[in-house]
């Protein structure tokens, strides 16, 4: 069945394709017709009022192409109205950031003529996604053609179709010209300069731009640690006085680093218009399920799931599973120590180059096993968190982050804590830290950069070859682009990227005083990370939808928690140094009490510093207060005018 006319670029010249919508190839014709009509229908009729056309791919010898691929676009007028609906903030003529309204469009900077170019591609695609997601069921009891696929009045149609497998995927299309310009300024030339964060934000949105901003900030913040760490490592490291000084510097650095980042992220978010935006009402997750009930907040019928059932699943299944995984992690750690003692005994019996190399083998094997365990646990954690049936995406993400962070922290750092505070072997601690850090960085680069790049290159060649064989000399760039991008990997968000930086921050802040080169290695890793992540975002993954973000979210709390643990760890390491122990030759208890007292003082200093340094710079606070005052004044004027209007009617 042919529902559209789009077989080439000329056929969709009536609008710019922004989003690809792919339904299952066996979707019923009546369901497709119903969905397209809802997408095209006017807003007052409950539609999205968007433009949509079908892409018809030529038949192939080896497989039948999916006929249910559509491109979605919009008129400029609809996008500008949508910008007001989603609450986009834009720069006003007085330099402040204000919520965009179509009525006051001429008062916003960069709005020229009819507004062409006022909204970025990422913003346009975000608006289309919002309109598709808020396309709600009306009086339909089920999806046409699917009697068992029930619809609930007021619930998102697209989310329902996605959760039941009728909708395979929908994603924003890359803009070839903009992508080319971004690639050139971002990663194609190696240069020691800041990243084009504004360009990244315009193309990918605020959430991803904030990640790259944090990655850049973290890398630059590590430079002082690296510059101090190099001479510490090269010149007489066995002098533990230097060890104590570096630990103290580490404590101050980890606190100041995070507090200054809050101000940096607030400045970026204000300039991008997300700091002032009100949080949108959160719709239920696509995978959320339950018996039909009544939502007292929205007044709609929707699936409900008892909180008691969810809590039982969490505490009777998820928590025991996490504890079992932690036990397995400790068991693997003890096996590693057995291997370490075996290697040391062989070296002591026959010191040689071969046996000295053998000393590093247990740590390398353990580092590889840690990465494998982290990967397997991640899949299990995602399955469990999904099975817990959280209603909101934010709740799902918080529970997933907590599960993954607890396991990764124990799995990656338990052996280092054991060596430092049970075995108290600083030489072995330094060796283990170096091996774990270097091996994990190499594995991450292979798994995150080289392997996806190689797989995508193979996939691209196959797609190009197939399209050339089918189309001959005819040039159909849109069909080729859509075909290529539908087969690209889906970017799953910044979760894994932040997790990697969290673990690197742990290696630097917890134990780098015994291995000062840790900061140097992390700086080198992050420089390559910027370029590899940039390339992946531009050429390996599908373009993700823009996600408004004010800060790095729950990860800020995770990094702050790690910095608190770092205070305790570094104080304990200082207490274990021979120079400090020499002052208390007969009283270990007195030493412990003094170390604990110093640790409490440093923690108090850390919290005072966090309180004294404002999270938001003063000038931004003033602008936000001014905006709030203007909003209240405007509201008062509207109320007065309405009262006057009503009074005149009755006079």
CA 482-488-491 angle, 5° bins: 120
State the residue for tokens 């009086």: 139
pLDDT tens per residue across span 206-233: 999 999 999 999 999 999 888 888 877 7
> Coil, strand, or helix at residue 469?
helix
CA atoms within 13 A on the CB side of 457: 7
Question: Residue 625's pLDDT is what?
Answer: 78
Give the global pTM. 0.85
Q: Domain for residue 462, yes or no?
A: no
Residues 10 and 60 sit within 8 Å (Cβ to Cβ): no
Question: Residue 218's pLDDT is what?
Answer: 93
Q: Domain for residue 319, yes or no?
A: no
Residues 552 and 498 sit within 8 Å (Cβ to Cβ): yes
Q: Domain for residue 161, yes or no?
A: yes
Q: Is the pLDDT of residue 182 over 70?
A: yes
Tokens, residue 496: 């894994």
Q: Domain for residue 521, yes or no?
A: no
Q: Domain for residue 207, yes or no?
A: no
Residues 383 and 399 sit within 8 Å (Cβ to Cβ): no
- Cβ neighbours for 282, distance < 8 A, ≥ 6 positions apart: 392, 393, 394
Q: Domain for residue 484, yes or no?
A: no
Looking at every residue in the chain, the average pLDDT score rounds to 82
Q: Domain for residue 44, yes or no?
A: yes
What's the domain range around 77?
17-173
Domain count across the chain: 1
Q: Cα dihedral angle (332, 333, 336, 342), rounded to 10 degrees?
A: -120
> Coil, strand, or helix at residue 609?
helix
C-alpha 328 chain-centroid distance: 28
pLDDT tens per residue across span 550-594: 888 889 999 999 988 988 888 888 787 777 777 777 777 888 888
β-partners of residue 22 are 69, 169
SS3 per-residue string spanning 37-61: HHHHCCHHHCCCCCEEEEECCCCCC
Question: Residue 570's pLDDT is what?
Answer: 83
Q: Domain for residue 482, yes or no?
A: no
Burial of 346 (0-12, 13-18, 19+ CB in 10 A): middle
> Of 595 and 637, which is predicted with more confidence?
595
pLDDT tens per residue across span 501-531: 999 999 988 887 788 888 899 999 898 888 8
């Amino acid at each position: 069945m042919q529902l559209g006319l789009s077989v080439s670029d000329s056929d969709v010249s009536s609008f710019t394709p922004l989003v690809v919508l792919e339904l299952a190839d066996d979707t019923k014709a009546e369901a497709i017709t119903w969905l397209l009509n809802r997408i095209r229908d006017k807003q007052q009729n409950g539609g999205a009022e968007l433009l949509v056309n079908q892409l018809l791919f030529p038949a192939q010898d080896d497989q039948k192409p999916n006929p249910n691929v559509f491109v979605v676009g919009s008129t400029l007028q609809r996008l500008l109205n949508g910008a007001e609906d989603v609450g986009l903030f834009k720069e006003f003529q007085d330099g402040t950031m204000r919520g965009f309204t179509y009525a006051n469009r001429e008062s916003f900077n960069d709005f020229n003529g009819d507004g062409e170019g006022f909204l970025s591609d990422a913003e346009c695609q975000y608006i289309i996604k919002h309109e598709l997601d808020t396309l709600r069921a009306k009086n339909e009891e089920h999806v046409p053609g699917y009697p068992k696929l029930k619809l609930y009045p007021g619930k998102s149609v697209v989310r329902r179709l996605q959760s039941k497998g009728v909708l395979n995927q929908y994603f924003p299309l890359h803009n070839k010209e903009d992508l080319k310009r971004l690639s050139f300024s971002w990663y194609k030339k190696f240069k020691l300069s800041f990243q084009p964060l504004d360009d990244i934000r315009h193309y990918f949105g605020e959430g991803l731009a904030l990640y790259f901003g944090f990655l850049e900030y973290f890398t630059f913040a590590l430079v002082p640690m690296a510059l101090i760490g190099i001479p510490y490592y090269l010149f007489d490291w066995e002098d533990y006085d230097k060890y104590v000084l570096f630990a103290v510097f580490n404590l101050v650095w980890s606190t100041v680093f995070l507090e200054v980042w809050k101000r940096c992220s607030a400045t970026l978010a204000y300039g991008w218009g997300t700091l002032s935006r009100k949080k949108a009402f959160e719709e239920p997750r696509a995978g959320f399920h339950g018996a039909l009930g009544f939502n007292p907040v929205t007044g709609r019928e929707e699936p409900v799931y008892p909180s008691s059932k969810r809590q039982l699943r969490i505490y009777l299944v998820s928590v025991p599973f996490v504890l079992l995984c932690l036990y397995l992690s400790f068991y693997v750690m003890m096996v590693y120590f057995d291997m370490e003692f075996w290697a040391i005994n062989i070296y002591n019996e026959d010191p040689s180059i071969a046996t000295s190399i053998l000393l590093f083998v247990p740590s390398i094997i353990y580092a590889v096993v840690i990465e494998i365990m982290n990967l397997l646990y991640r899949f299990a954690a995602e399955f469990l968190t999904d099975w817990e049936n959280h209603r909101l995406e934010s709740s799902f993400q918080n529970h997933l982050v907590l599960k993954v962070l607890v396991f990764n922290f124990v799995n990656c750092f338990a052996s280092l804590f054991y060596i430092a505070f049970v075995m108290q072997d600083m030489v072995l601690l330094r060796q283990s830290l170096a091996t774990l850090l270097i091996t994990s960085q190499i594995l991450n680069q292979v798994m995150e950069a080289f392997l996806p790049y190689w797989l995508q290159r193979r996939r691209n060649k196959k797609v190009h070859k197939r399209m050339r064989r089918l189309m001959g000399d005819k040039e159909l760039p849109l069909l080729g682009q859509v075909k290529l991008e539908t087969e690209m990997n889906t970017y799953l968000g910044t979760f894994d990227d932040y997790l990697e930086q969290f673990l690197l921050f742990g290696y630097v802040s917890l134990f780098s005083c015994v291995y000062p080169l840790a900061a140097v290695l992390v700086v080198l890793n992050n420089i390559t990370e910027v370029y590899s992540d940039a390339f992946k975002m531009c050429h390996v993954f599908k373009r993700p939808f823009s996600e408004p973000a004010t800060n790095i979210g729950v990860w800020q709390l995770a990094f702050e928690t790690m910095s608190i643990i770092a205070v305790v760890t570094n104080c304990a390491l200082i207490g274990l140094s021979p120079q400090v122990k020499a002052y208390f030759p007969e009283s270990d208890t007195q030493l412990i009490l003094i170390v604990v007292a110093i640790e409490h003082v440093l923690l108090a200093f850390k919290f005072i510093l966090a309180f004294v340094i404002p999270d938001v710079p003063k000038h931004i606070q003033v602008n936000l207060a001014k905006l709030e005052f203007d909003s209240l004044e405007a509201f008062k004027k509207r109320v007065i005018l309405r009262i006057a209007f009503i009074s005149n009617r009755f006079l």
